[in-house]
Amino acid sequence: MIYTAIMGHGVVGSGVAEILLGHNSLINQKIKDEIDVKYILDLRDFDGLPYSDKFIKDFEIIANDDEVKIVVEVMGGVNPAYDFVKRCLMAGKSVVTSNKELVAAKGAELLAIANEKNVNFLFEASVGGGIPILRPIAQCLAANEITEIKGILNGTTNYILNKMIVDNMDFDSALSLAQEMGFAEKNPAADIEGHDACRKVCILASLAFGKHVYPEQVKTEGITNITLTDVEYADSFGCAIKLIGSAKKLDNGKITATVKPMLVSRSHILSDVDGVFNAIMVTGDAVGDVMFYGKGAGKMPTASAVVADVIDCAKHLHARKYVDWSEGSTDYVVCPDEKVRLYVYIQSDNYDMICQQFTTLFSDNTWHIKNDFKKEIAFITNEDYESTLMEKINSIKADTVKVMHTLF
Ligand code: HSE
């Protein structure tokens, strides 16, 4: 018998309990042993469930029970999850988590402890919800040097942007709907300000490139400034606005890592990823581009990935799995000046002047739309170094100047 414990009985935790207890015979068949949930840790009371007798409120019970070999951490946040996970690993228990905040902040340290104790620390559900992505990068693409990862990593923002594009819904109404549907994080700021996607970029980049990337090293911008006007102009330019997380390996061994809203050409496969779905493109030197697509949020898709990790731990109780990376360093993530095309939106009551500035700086041949009635211009620059383009854009004197990157 292999005993597990689940720490946290929120959206994901309850899904994990349902699958582990509901699919018990299927899982037992797969691991060729019997698995059971011995404890569920949560400070709240959950009466009337078929497994209500398993609830405890004291973490020490799990830490001190040598029979518990696998612990699932689905509480979220860094504290007290970090302390609990560390103690479980130190006590020789394998740990499975969906907690991207924890892995993005402390992954290298926790992996090193797991290594030392010869147990597993697995977190497939921390990126892309139910989409298999970490295991494929570490195992199926192991023969490749990964050069780039980019994608839509946050279901809530993709859902909001999609509602704005398809249903002409404003940002606040679309956010409320996402919260009602249970996609958004407890604090929606983590989604809409890009922190959730940033944490996922950290995990992907750390795994793909072998060195920890910390959240503060990723230049992060969310979608709170995106308006229906931007969405409409993007559409006129044949693009959809998407929140794109990306990490790229440079020739000098350093990497770039960003999260930002971008205008994605309708001819790019990522522009078709709608609703709560996530899609992650991985580029390897041998395989080329591969894409992973599926439900990036929600109770059962995320629980599906968590339970798969539990099964993997159960099958490898005395063997370490593939995942590892080393601690990061301050000069590892850089922001080089690269050639880009930018979307620019300018509005001013002094419309004649901005039209003239636009013509002088960018020429009338630039792909543009003028709205004489609203006194605004939107355009997409030709490709040039970002610093050169930004110098020109910064010299424009207007009431509103908004800039976004493009992905063609
Ligand atoms: N709030 C996250 C999202 C949940 O919307 O993608 C999954 O990480």
For residue range 211-240, list pLDDT tens digits in order.
999 999 999 999 999 999 999 999 999 999
State which of 131, 183, 259 you would mutate to test the pocket of ligand 1, scoring each by most atoms of that ligand within 8 A of its C-beta.
183
Domain assignment of residue 174, given as a range: 134-295
Identify the active-site residue in 100, 150, 200, 375.
Answer: 200
Answer yes or no: is 324 within a domain.
no
Number of domains in the chain: 3
Q: Which atom of ligand 1 is nearest to the CA of 185?
A: 1
126 and 170 co-located in one domain: no
Which two tokens mark 378?
Answer: 């939107």
214 and 259 co-located in one domain: yes
Q: Given this model, what pLDDT does residue 363 score?
A: 84
CATH of the domain at 278: 3.30.360.10
285 and 140 co-located in one domain: yes
113 and 250 co-located in one domain: no
Residue with tokens 């100047």: 401
- Residue 152 to residue 128: CA distance in whole angstroms: 9
Q: Which atom of ligand 1 is nearest to the CA of 157?
A: 5
191 close to ligand 1 (CB < 6 Angstrom): yes
Across the range 118-144, mean pLDDT stands at 96
297 close to ligand 1 (CB < 6 Angstrom): yes
CATH of the domain at 112: 3.40.50.720
Q: What angle do CA 193, 197, 199 make, to 5 degrees?
A: 110
154 close to ligand 1 (CB < 6 Angstrom): yes
113 and 171 co-located in one domain: no
Q: Given this model, what pLDDT does residue 321 score?
A: 76
Q: Given this model, what pLDDT does residue 185 score?
A: 67
347 and 214 co-located in one domain: no
156 close to ligand 1 (CB < 6 Angstrom): yes
- Residue 93 to residue 115: CA distance in whole angstroms: 12
311 and 284 co-located in one domain: no
Percent of the chain with pLDDT over 70: 100
Residue 145 has what DSSP assignment?
A: P
251 and 161 co-located in one domain: yes
State which of 100, 102, 186, 196 you would mutate to test the pocket of ligand 1, scoring each by most atoms of that ligand within 8 A of its C-beta.
196
Catalytic status, residue 54: no
95 and 185 co-located in one domain: no
Answer yes or no: is 330 within a domain.
no
CA 154 – ligand 1 centroid, Å: 5
Q: Given this model, what pLDDT does residue 94 score?
A: 98
CA 155 – ligand 1 centroid, Å: 5
Closest-CA residue to 303 (of 124, 139, 140): 124
pLDDT tier, 93 (very low <50, low <70, confident <90, very high otherwise)? very high
